[in-house]
A and B are shown apart, each in its own frame.
Chain A
């Protein structure tokens, strides 16, 4: 133990200022892509009718940002840079930001605010149901992302935020299900989701024996 800790003290640690710098970079990159999207839309680079292009761009941006968010904890562990997790919330919020735009494009530009159609489509089309579930998970995580909410929810906060492990595989399934053909890219995303979840094997293993031990005793 002592040898490890001395090694760590000698080792490079990310400073709070660098975390702030990293956050600034995340803001700049995200806003760059947002501005790029607006430029492309009005310059006609997303095609003569940009609705589909906007939908793909915002959906994939939400997916990419979600995956990067989920990559932070494993990276923090491997590099032994615990403070890296401080950028996780910001990334998660940007994922939700893109998901909001994604939904807006669908409801506003594709369905033209036909709420009845929105409701029936979400109910009847599995890929949209899956998308809606993902969106609601991200929404719940976003509104409980503040420190005061974290304090208020106490233990339940972590339980709520474990739901992201459901959103991670469902989001690429939504993508896979939505395409007419060309499943290679969505399949790569599904593989990515499996990989991200596999980094959390320990967490999942912790849950399984717990169930085995608790459920019988709770029932009797």
Chain B
């Protein structure tokens, strides 16, 4: 495992935005938000005028503050997707197929206690409990692009630890070639698992996998929080995978099992529609989904409905210089 000392995504100390500036920027954005709210078509303004239809749902928020050093070392120049949108626009079919379902249906999802079982072809099998998730490996904040296979994208300030830290601790044997992940299976808590209609006809538990070299890549993160707080259930609490150069469905949520194997593990969307979703699922503007173009994406950022913008999709979601070498000599049209 060769790790470059200065990967391109790791900005030099001199490039790092001081924390005060980071928060200043947030303040400015907030103020912009207030200005927008006074415009006739802005969300908040309308919400206040038309409260007649139903009361705003009060969703319990059990997240707690999470301190993470190394803030904004990664892509501080990216404009962030507002926290509110990251919390309310989710694909987490275990809680329903509509984007707004997970925030509502996962509100009471129990993440403490939690247990992650790390096993398979490793010298040191172990389990992580809830506290270990945040304490066993040093966490840091990283701002990553997130590109969904449905051609929308966000920029998210994740908090987490490199999966490589966990894997090095586990000590993969020489036979280990792949890492398999599994989401919690609990139909009592996850209505989408109890009902095929709610869960979009998927066979649960949700499973995902990476090649070992992909899993060991320094960009591959196990996220335990975002926006300075622990993860909300709809974002995959208490811990989820984040592979920023792959389509979002690879970044499996609410993980309970990490297994090292010598065979390519089955992956949920590939099982459901193999001609549409591959094992690799690298973001690639040149290889379209059979039913829609992947050349561009709708960025979900600040502002209201009418301020969304379409932007070109970047090869490997903008991380080509870091990860393209992993796929040298591979036909990316074949291994989509």
Contact with B along A171-209 (1 / 0, CB 8 A): 000000110111110000000000000000000000000
A163 CB-CB contact with B under 8 Å: no
Among A49, A53, A127, A184, the most chain B Cβ lie within 10 Å of the Cβ of A49
Q: How far is the CA of A45 from the CA of B47 in the complex (A)?
A: 10
CB distance A42 to B46 under 8 Å?
Answer: yes
* Given A121-B292, A181-B272, CB of A45 within 8 Å of CB of B100: yes
Chain B, 171-209, CB within 8 A of any chain A CB: 196-197, 200-202
Q: How far is the CB of A211 from chain B (nearest CB, A)?
A: 35
Interface-located stretch among B9-17, B80-88, B314-322, B325-333: B80-88
| B89 interfacial by beta-carbon distance below 8 Å | yes
Contacts of A46 in B (CB 8 A): 100
A112 touches B100 (CB 8 A): no
Residues in B with CB closer than 8 Å to A178 are 291
Which B273-304 residues have a C-beta within 8 angstroms of A?
273, 288, 291-293, 295-296, 298, 300
State in angstroms the CA–CA spacing of A122 and B236 once bound together: 35
**Are the CB atoms of A48 and B88 closer together than 8 Å?**
yes
Residues on the B chain within 8 Å of A181, using CB: 93, 97, 200-202, 272-273
Contact with B99, one of A42, A47, A117 (Cβ below 8 angstroms) = A47
9-residue interface stretch from B18-26, B67-75, B124-132, B305-313:
B305-313
Q: Check if B50 sits within 8 Å of A49, measured CB to CB.
A: no
Contact for B53 among A39, A48, A124, CB less than 8 A: A39
Nearest residue, chain B, Cβ from A110: B298
What's the least CB distance linking B80 to chain A, in Å? 14
Could you say which residues of chain B place their CB within 8 Å of the CB of A182? Answer: 97, 197, 200-201
Q: Does B213 contact A (CB under 8 A)?
A: no
| Contact size range, A | 35 or more
Most buried by A among B87, B273, B288, B293: B293
Complex Cα–Cα for A31 and B85 (A): 29
- CA–CA, A176 to B247, complex, Å? 23
The answer, yes or no, to whether A158 is at the interface (CB within 8 Å) is no
> Bound state CA distance, A41 and B100, in angstroms?
12
Complex Cα distance, B91 from A182, in Å, reads: 13
Q: Which residue of B lies closest to A184 (CB)?
A: B197
Check if A125 sits within 8 Å of B298, measured CB to CB. Answer: no
Known contacts: A112-B308, A112-B309, A184-B197. The answer to whether A44 contacts B296 by CB under 8 A is no
Instruction: Pick the contact of B305: A39, A45, A51, A127 (CB < 8 A).
Output: A51
Of the candidates A53, A112, A125, the one whose C-beta lies within 8 Å of that of B292 is: A125
Judged by a CB distance under 8 angstroms, whether B152 is at the interface is: yes
Q: Flag whether B43 is at the interface (Cβ < 8 A).
A: yes
Interface centre among A36, A41, A112, A117 (most CB of B within 10 A): A112
Q: Are B308 and A51 in contact (CB under 8 A)?
A: yes
- Shortest distance between the CB of A127 and any CB in chain B (Å): 6
B305 adjacent to A50 (CB under 8 Å): yes
Are A39 and B300 interface neighbours, CB within 8 A?
no
5 example contacts (A-B, Cβ-Cβ < 8 A) are as follows: A42-B50, A44-B43, A47-B88, A109-B306, A127-B291
Residues of A participating in the B interface, judged by any CB pair closer than 8 Å: 36, 39-53, 109-112, 114, 117, 120-121, 124-127, 177-178, 180-184
Interface residues of chain B, those whose CB is within 8 Å of chain A, are 41, 43, 46-47, 50, 53-54, 56, 82, 84-89, 93, 97-100, 150, 152, 196-197, 200-202, 272-273, 288, 291-293, 295-296, 298, 300, 305-306, 308-310
In the complex, besides A47-B100, A49-B300, 16 extra interface pairs with C-beta distance below 8 angstroms are A43-B46, A44-B88, A47-B89, A48-B82, A48-B99, A49-B89, A49-B99, A49-B305, A51-B305, A112-B298, A120-B293, A127-B291, A181-B97, A181-B201, A182-B97, A184-B201
